[in-house]
Amino acid sequence: FLAMDKVNKLAEKFAQWGIHPFRRQALRKSEDWMLERFEGADGLGAIWPSMLNSLIAMKAMGYEDDHPQVLRAERELKKLEHETETEVRIEPCLSPVWDTAIACAALSASGVAPANPIMRKAADYLVSKEIRFRGDWKYKNEADIEPSGWAFEHENKWSPDVDDSAMVMLALRRMQSSDKKAQQACLKRGLEWLLTFQCKGGGWAAFDKDCTKSIMEKVPFADHNAMLDPECADITARILELLGAEGLTLEHPQVKLGVQYLRSQQEEDGSWYGRWGVNYLYGTWLALRGLRALKMDMHQPWLQKAKDWLESVQLIDGGWGERCNSYEDPVLKGQGPSTASQTAWAVMGLCAFGDPGLPSLHRGIQYLIDMQSNDGSWPEEETTGTGFPLVFYLKYDMYRNSWPLLALATYQDLVKAKANASL
Query: What's the rounded mean pLDDT across residues 184-189?
Result: 98
What residues are annotated to the active site? 163
pLDDT at 19 over 70: no
State the pLDDT at residue 223.
65
Domains in the chain, CATH or no CATH each: 2-90 (no CATH), 96-421 (1.50.10.20)
- Tell me the C-alpha distance between 321 and 121, whole Å: 34
State the pLDDT at residue 4.
66
Mean pLDDT of the chain: 94
pLDDT tens by residue, 206-220? 999 999 887 777 776
- Measured over the CA atoms of residue 302, residue 284, residue 408 and residue 154, the dihedral's sign is negative
Percent of the chain with pLDDT over 70: 96
Residue 45 makes CB contacts below 8 A (sequence gap 6+) with 37, 51, 156, 158, 159
State the pLDDT at residue 121.
98
pLDDT tens by residue, 361-405? 999 999 999 999 999 999 999 999 999 999 889 999 999 999 999
pLDDT at 221 over 80: no
pLDDT tens by residue, 129-148? 999 999 999 999 999 999 99
pLDDT at 17 over 80: no
State the pLDDT at residue 215.
75
pLDDT tens by residue, 52-96? 999 999 999 999 999 999 999 999 999 999 998 899 999 999 999
State the pLDDT at residue 389.
92
pLDDT at 228 over 90: no
Query: What's the rounded mean pLDDT across residues 33-50?
Result: 94
Query: What's the rounded mean pLDDT across residues 278-295?
Result: 98
State the pLDDT at residue 327.
96
pLDDT at 2 over 80: no
pLDDT at 320 over 70: yes
Residue 89 makes CB contacts below 8 A (sequence gap 6+) with 81, 82, 83
